[in-house]
A = this chain, B = another copy of it.
């Protein structure tokens, strides 16, 4: 086994992402992460200081990647909502990690999200008159994530995984809903 600190760090982070997304902080097992990463528990403590540090690093990295891959689109907020939907569809761990973090370690959540916020908030200022920029930002996120966040009981008794055309239809409904919210003439 070649000795490469950076590579080991990364394997641990990847394994942690899977583990924590699946079981959360309290339910996530350090041993599983170590063996899945083909490494050792000790290394988690060496590189990340412990379970908490590893979890925080995992969340921060997931959000960083999202901010990088789904940049805000000032000219087309509805389209951007669609992009967010797609990103969560491709990487379901991100949303699960965020939810776990918000429930289990709310303080760890504030900071990385704030970075994303500053990137996107400016973008929403020009939007839908009676709604403020923050309103718009909060609702766009909510709508973009609505399908993935909805308990299955709400969306209907459905086959898993959801069929591709159904996913496309959902994406379309997201874009439509945001469009209507933003450009309504009542």
Residues in A lying within 8 Å of B, measured CB to CB: 23-24, 26-27, 96, 98-104, 106, 109-117, 128, 130-132, 134-135, 137-139, 141-143, 145-147, 149-157, 173, 176-177, 179-186
Tell me if A117 and B185 are in contact (CB < 8 A). Answer: no
User: 8 closest pairs, A vs B, by CB?
Assistant: A113-B153, A142-B146, A184-B184, A114-B153, A180-B184, A26-B27, A110-B153, A135-B173
Interface of A is mostly: helix
The minimal Cβ–Cβ distance linking A184 to chain B, given in whole angstroms, is 4
A-B contact pairs, 8 of them (CB 8 A): A106-B151, A109-B151, A109-B152, A112-B153, A114-B157, A131-B177, A180-B182, A180-B186
**Among B111, B147, B156, which residue has its beta carbon within 8 angstroms of that of A153?**
B111
**Count of identical protomers in the assembly:** 2
Q: For residue A25, which residue of chain B has the nearest CB?
A: B27
Q: State in angstroms the CA–CA spacing of A130 and B175 once bound together.
A: 11
The answer to whether A155 touches B181 (Cβ under 8 A) is no
Q: Say yes or no: A154 contacts B185, CB within 8 Å.
A: no
Bound: A132/B117 CA distance, A: 31
Contact of A26 among B26, B109, B173 (CB under 8 A): B26
CB atoms of A181 and B183 under 8 A apart? no
For A152, the chain B residues whose CB sits under 8 A away are 106, 109-110, 113
Residues of B close to A186: CB separation below 8 A = 179-180, 183-185
The docked-state distance in angstroms from the alpha carbon of A130 to that of B149 is: 22
Instruction: For A185, give the chain B residue with the smallest CB separation.
Output: B185
Chain B residue with the shortest CB-CB distance to A111: B153
Taking each of A24, A99, A152, A154, which has the highest tally of chain B beta carbons within 10 Å of its own beta carbon? A154
**Pairwise interchain contact A138-B110, C-beta atoms closer than 8 A:** no
Bound Cα distance A134, B169 (Å): 12
| Given the contacts A142-B146, A177-B181, A151 and B24 also touching, CB distance less than 8 Å | no
